[in-house]
């Protein structure tokens, strides 16, 4: 790879940037360099949504627009993409010529959906992405999910949500997709990005062989995917992550496929795409998928990054472990695989070797006799860190338990299987008595810590309670058996 400037499409033209530090955030560039101050800085950690922007990429021949947090995205990750901010949306469809607001903006005004106004640009961009991605007015649940990463402290969400149908009632406008796609195609012809700024290198290999070679050549470089974790190292911990190898340009890493071997999810697949595939594979993923971080974080973050991070409270790992997932690792031309639970050696320590990277995750086919659930327990419904995340895969044949895999996050230094409880369940009848006795075993299997999220005793009690919940949802005759069932019955 040869060095070249960063290229991205912004306000009708392809921009070039050179000389900025690789860890300069998109938010810093917008406010301090481009003087586009409509994008606000609130938390600088991807939680409040005041900095929301929309990125455009070509995916399967179409323009895909997704909301992300500008405060934790590094500027070089814009390379080859289109960037839209709140200052741009009134120009969509030629509205800037007549001085009109975008339908989303006008609806927010008409529904009195702004008071102090600090959060409004972020809400506008989240709703702009929603508007562009849904030709017809979406359901209220979809609207609320799209706003899960936007914090409002004064107006309240009702007038904001109510603005969406009004926006759709106005004459339809939209991004000139052909113009954006033409710009994206022009940038796609450029060589892979190898950028140096402020004494640090940002390499973006564009193929698996190139990535493998880059990792071997610089085994000490930091691998960067969605930047939803590494971004906070820079903005909150003021760390220097050193040279970066960016995974976002390797299309092979984004592969998702289902075949006789089960479900394969490439390490570079976004959490949004990965959870869609997991939910299609096993519908019980749906609840966790909606509550995993926020939509902008899911749009940027990757499943491989969540797994490789090694956090004891990573919400994807318990479910993946319960379903018997294997992790695929690559170093040079060598490939190896292992059960996901064996990948975690100690607190934030994994089996990843120098120069090695996560290629993807393989989930085996699931038996029809399996009861699978995964749940997140936290203080808030949306965008909160788990106190406990549990997952259960119980196989039942002829009324008896023929297989059991149970895994938890938040209960130990790593995501960990409940092997004593699994052993207790095997061959026993699948009935309330067995579940009650197994819950007692589970309540004493872990020794979780106490912290600001939950006490040790609470975590143990919750873990046992989730096993009871599995029984109530999957086997008990009581109805309704879940909050979703209750809502459907009203």
- For 23, which DSSP code? T
What is the length of the chain? 490
Mean pLDDT of 325-330: 98
Report the pLDDT value the prediction gives residue 95, as an integer from 0 to 100: 64
The whole-angstrom separation of Cα 84 and Cα 376 is: 33
Taking CA atoms, 291 is separated from 72, 282, 316, 416, 463, in Å, by 20, 16, 11, 21, 18
Specify the long-range contacts of residues 413-416, CB closer than 8 Å, at least 24 apart.
413/312, 413/346, 413/347, 414/310, 414/312, 414/344, 414/345, 414/346, 414/347, 415/312, 415/314, 415/317, 415/318, 415/321, 415/341, 415/344, 416/341, 416/344, 416/446
Q: What percent of the chain has pLDDT over 70?
A: 95
Mean pLDDT of 377-396: 95
Report the pLDDT value the prediction gives residue 430, as an integer from 0 to 100: 96
Per-residue pLDDT of 246-282, as tens digits, reads: 999 999 999 999 999 999 999 999 999 999 999 999 9
**Res 221 pLDDT > 60:** yes
**Res 222 pLDDT > 70:** yes
How buried is residue 45: exposed, middle or buried, by Cβ count under 10 Å (0-12/13-18/19+)?
A: middle
Beta strands in 70-120 (DSSP E): 82-84
Q: What percent of the chain has pLDDT over 90?
A: 91
**Res 462 pLDDT > 80:** yes
The whole-angstrom separation of Cα 221 and Cα 217 is: 9
**Res 450 pLDDT > 60:** yes
HSE, side-chain direction, 13 A CA sphere, residue 211: 26
Report the pLDDT value the prediction gives residue 378, as an integer from 0 to 100: 96
* Closest C-alpha among 386, 390, 325 to residue 358: 325
The whole model's pTM is what? 0.95
Q: Are residues 447 and 379 in contact, defined by beta-carbon separation less than 8 angstroms?
A: no
Cα diameter, the chain = 73
Report the pLDDT value the prediction gives residue 476, as an integer from 0 to 100: 61
Mean pLDDT of 112-136: 97
Taking CA atoms, 371 is separated from 265, 426, 433, in Å, by 22, 14, 18
CA dihedral 455, 461, 467, 473 (to 10 degrees): -90
Mean pLDDT of 146-164: 95
CA dihedral 272, 273, 278, 283 (to 10 degrees): 70
Per-residue pLDDT of 95-104, as tens digits, reads: 655 568 999 9
- Cis ω for the linkage preceding 480 (within 30 of 0): yes
Grade residue 14 by pLDDT with cuts at 50, 70 and 90. Answer: very high
Q: Write down all domains in the chain, each with its CATH number in brackets.
A: 1-252 (1.10.150.120), 253-363 (3.30.465.10), 370-474 (3.30.390.50)
**Res 38 pLDDT > 80:** yes
**Res 401 pLDDT > 80:** yes
Q: Within a 10 A sphere around the Cβ of 149, how many other Cβ atoms?
A: 25
CA dihedral 233, 325, 442, 389 (to 10 degrees): 40
Mean pLDDT of 378-397: 95
**Res 388 pLDDT > 90:** yes
**Res 365 pLDDT > 70:** yes
Report the pLDDT value the prediction gives residue 92, as an integer from 0 to 100: 81
Per-residue pLDDT of 339-358, as tens digits, reads: 999 999 999 899 999 999 99
**Res 131 pLDDT > 80:** yes
Specify the residue for token string 């995916």. 59
Supply angle C-alpha 466, 312, 212, rounded to 5: 130
The whole-angstrom separation of Cα 49 and Cα 448 is: 32
Per-residue pLDDT of 46-98, as tens digits, reads: 999 999 999 999 999 999 999 999 999 999 999 999 999 999 998 887 665 55
The whole-angstrom separation of Cα 308 and Cα 356 is: 11
Question: 486 vs 84, which has greater pLDDT?
Answer: 84
Mean pLDDT of 135-162: 95
Mean pLDDT of 417-434: 97
Per-residue pLDDT of 465-480, as tens digits, reads: 999 999 999 986 554 5
Mean pLDDT of 121-140: 98
- 251 backbone dihedrals φ, ψ, rounded to 5°: -65, -35
The whole-angstrom separation of Cα 76 and Cα 66 is: 18
Report the pLDDT value the prediction gives residue 148, as an integer from 0 to 100: 94
């Amino acid at each position: 790879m040869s060095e070249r400037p960063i290229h991205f499409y912004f306000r009708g033209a392809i921009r070039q940037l050179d000389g900025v530090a690789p860890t300069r955030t998109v938010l810093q560039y917008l406010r301090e360099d481009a003087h586009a101050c409509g994008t606000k800085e609130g938390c600088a950690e991807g939680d409040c949504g005041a900095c929301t922007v929309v990125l455009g990429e070509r995916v399967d021949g179409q323009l895909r627009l997704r909301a992300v947090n500008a405060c934790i995205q590094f500027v070089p990750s814009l390379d080859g993409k289109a960037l839209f901010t709140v200052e741009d949306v009134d120009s969509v469809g030629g509205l800037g010529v007549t001085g009109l607001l975008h339908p989303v903006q006008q609806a927010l005004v008409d529904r009195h959906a702004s008071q102090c106004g600090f959060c409004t640009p972020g809400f506008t961009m989240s709703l702009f992405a929603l508007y562009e991605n849904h030709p017809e007015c979406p359901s209220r649940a979809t609207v609320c999910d799209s706003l899960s990463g936007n914090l409002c402290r004064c107006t309240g969400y009702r007038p904001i949500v109510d603005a969406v149908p009004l926006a759709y009632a106005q004459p339809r406008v939209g991004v000139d997709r052909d113009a954006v796609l033409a710009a994206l195609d022009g940038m796609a012809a450029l060589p892979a990005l190898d950028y140096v700024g402020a004494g640090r290198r940002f390499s973006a290999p564009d193929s698996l062989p190139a990535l493998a070679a880059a990792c071997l050549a610089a085994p000490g470089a930091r691998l960067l995917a969605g930047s939803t974790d590494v971004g906070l190292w820079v903005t909150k911990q003021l760390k220097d992550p050193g040279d970066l190898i960016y995974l976002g340009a390797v299309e092979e890493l984004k592969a998702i496929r289902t075949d006789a071997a089960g479900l394969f999810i490439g390490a570079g697949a976004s959490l949004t795409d990965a959870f869609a595939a997991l939910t299609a594979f096993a519908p019980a993923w749906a609840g966790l998928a909606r509550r995993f971080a926020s939509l902008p974080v899911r749009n940027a973050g990757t499943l491989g990054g969540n797994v490789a991070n090694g956090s004891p409270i990573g919400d994807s790992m318990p479910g993946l472990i319960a379903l018997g997932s294997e992790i695929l690792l690559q170093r040079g031309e060598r490939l190896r695989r292992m059960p996901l639970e064996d990948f975690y050696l100690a607190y934030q320590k994994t089996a990843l070797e120098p120069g090695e990277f996560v290629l993807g995750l393989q989930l085996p086919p699931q038996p029809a006799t399996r009861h699978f659930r995964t749940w997140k327990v936290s203080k808030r419904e949306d965008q909160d860190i788990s106190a406990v995340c549990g997952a259960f895969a119980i196989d039942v044949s002829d009324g008896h338990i023929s297989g059991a895999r149970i895994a938890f996050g938040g209960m130990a230094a790593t995501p960990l299987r409940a092997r004593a409880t699994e052993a207790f369940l095997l061959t026993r009848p699948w009935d309330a008595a067995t579940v009650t006795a197994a819950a007692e075993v589970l309540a004493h299997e872990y020794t979780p810590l106490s912290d600001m999220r939950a006490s040790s005793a609470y975590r143990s009690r919750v873990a046992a309670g989730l096993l009871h919940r599995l029984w109530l949802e999957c086997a008990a005759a009581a109805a309704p058996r879940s909050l979703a069932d209750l809502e459907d019955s009203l």
